[in-house]
Amino acid sequence: MSLGIKKNDTVIVLTGTEKGKKGRVIDVRPKRDRIIVEGV
């Protein structure tokens, strides 16, 4: 599945305990459908 999100994109967390927080993507792991967000 393609996430359409790249390194250095700014994203907003939509669900979970960090909901509403904003951060910069520092790593994308497409095989696991995960991204690592700075400060979250």
Residues in the chain: 40
pTM of the model: 0.77
Radius of gyration of the chain (CA): 10
Q: Please tell me the distance from the alpha carbon of residue 27 to that of residue 8, in angstroms, as a whole number.
A: 8
Closest by CA to 28, choosing from 18, 39, 16, 37, is: 37
Q: To 5 degrees, how large is the angle CA 30–CA 33–CA 38?
A: 85
The predicted pLDDT at position 36 comes to 95
Q: Which residue range is the domain that position 14 belongs to?
A: 1-40
1 pLDDT more than 80: no
Question: Average pLDDT, stretch 7-11?
Answer: 96
Domains: count for the chain: 1
